[in-house]
């Protein structure tokens, strides 16, 4: 058991280290050289760097001190340690990588696009361990615990928009602010893709007179569970069993064929599902 726990912790901290390196590289080689500003504490540090020439990484560490004190009191020691490691590695590398005289592109659109993808990959790896890189991520983590119906990256996006506006007003770089918004938009979607995966599940409601036959077909051929919801037709007053099932996106064609073959008059509703927890899908104990 100790060996398994040790392996799990090793994987977690490997993700944090790799994610921090990727995040720092996206900042130094794509984002910063093209006047694209990040949100949160790094964004504030970047604005002050433009005004004072103080190192972005050093200021990021300094600004994070009160936020980490807050996280220790409200989010626990384990979160504090893992996030502190991520913040220290990424912030330190942001300054050290300045000595590597390399710029991936001087096109701000390319920098925003590819920088956003790479940044999202790095942050996604870190967030998948439930750690953060500090800054407004800590506030977002705290808010996510209270408002779980809102995605983590949505909180980040809301707070970062404010930084973009300040940057645009202070330096009159409206173009840079818009590129920054593009970068953040892409980053948000990449983070969501890593944390929650692509929309690969479908929720299906099937109203049919052949509920028993269809139930047996779904469980027998698609190997998916079925739940009956008892319903009544408002116009006819007829009692019916509404079939509820969750399937993989790749199974939707086969399900439609089953419904068509068994009851061509069935009424079928299909919608996307962002997250599905339970047997055959993501385990309920997994946390993002």
pLDDT, one tens digit per residue, over 175-205 is: 988 999 899 889 988 988 887 766 567 889 9
- Please identify, among 196, 217, 251, the residue that sits at the C-terminal boundary of a domain: 196
**pLDDT (tens digit, 9 = 90+) per residue, 118-175?**
999 999 999 888 888 888 777 777 777 777 777 766 777 777 888 888 888 888 888 9
Residue 124 placed within a domain: yes
Structural domain includes residue 171: yes
Per cent of the chain over pLDDT 90 is: 34
Whether residues 94 and 210 share a domain: the answer is: no
Same domain, 125 and 258: no
Say how many C-beta atoms besides its own lie within 10 A of residue 218's C-beta: 24
Task: Provide the pLDDT for residue 273.
Answer: 73
Residue 123 lies in a domain: yes
- Are 34 and 49 in the same domain? yes
CB atoms within 10 A of CB 118: 22
Give the pLDDT of residue 288.
47
Q: Are 155 and 144 in contact (CB under 8 A)?
A: yes
Question: Helix (H, G, I), strand (E, B), or coil: what is residue 169?
Answer: helix
Give the three-class secondary structure for 244.
strand
Residue 279 belongs to some domain of the structure? no
Q: How many residues does the chain have?
A: 288
110 CB contacts (<8 Å, ≥6 apart)? none
Last residue of a domain, one of 137, 167, 196: 196
170 plus 35 within the same structural domain: yes
In a domain, 74, yes or no: yes
Residue-range definition of the domain harbouring residue 233: 201-273
Residue 100 and residue 23 share a domain: yes
Using a 10 angstrom Cβ sphere, with 0-12 exposed, 13-18 middle and 19 or more buried, the burial of residue 77 is exposed
Number of domains in the chain: 2
Residues 147 and 24 in one domain: yes
In a domain, 283, yes or no: no
pLDDT tens digits, one per residue of 214-252: 999 898 888 888 889 988 877 877 888 899 998 887 788
Same structural domain, 245 and 116: no
Instruction: Using the 3D structure, point to which of 140, 166, 196 is the last residue of a domain.
Output: 196
């Amino acid at each position: 058991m100790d060996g398994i726990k040790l392996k799990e912790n090793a994987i977690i901290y490997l993700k944090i280290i790799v994610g921090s390196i990727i995040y720092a590289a996206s900042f130094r080689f794509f984002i910063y050289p093209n006047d694209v500003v990040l949100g949160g504490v790094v964004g504030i540090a970047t604005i002050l760097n433009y005004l004072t020439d103080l190192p972005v990484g050093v200021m990021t560490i300094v600004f994070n001190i009160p936020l980490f004190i807050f996280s220790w009191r409200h989010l626990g020691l384990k979160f504090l340690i893992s996030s502190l490691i991520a913040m220290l590695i990424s912030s330190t590398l942001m300054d050290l990588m300045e000595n590597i005289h390399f710029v991936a592109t001087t096109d701000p659109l390319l920098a925003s696009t590819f920088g956003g993808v790479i940044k999202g990959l790095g942050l996604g790896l870190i967030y998948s361990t439930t750690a953060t890189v500090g800054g407004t991520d800590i506030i977002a983590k705290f808010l996510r615990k209270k408002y779980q119906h809102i995605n983590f990256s949505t909180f980040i996006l809301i707070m970062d928009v404010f930084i973009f506006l300040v940057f645009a007003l202070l330096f009159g770089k409206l173009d840079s602010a818009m590129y920054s918004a593009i970068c953040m938009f892409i980053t948000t979607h990449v983070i969501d893709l890593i944390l929650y995966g692509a929309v690969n599940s479908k929720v299906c409601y099937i109203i049919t007179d052949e509920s028993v036959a269809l139930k047996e077909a779904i469980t027998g051929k698609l190997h998916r569970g079925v739940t009956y919801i008892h319903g009544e037709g408002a116009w006819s007053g007829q009692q019916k069993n509404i079939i509820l099932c969750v399937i993989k996106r790749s199974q939707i064609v086969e399900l439609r064929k089953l419904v068509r073959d068994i009851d061509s008059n069935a009424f079928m509703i299909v919608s996307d599902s962002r997250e599905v927890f339970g047997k055959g899908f993501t385990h309920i104990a997994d946390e993002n």
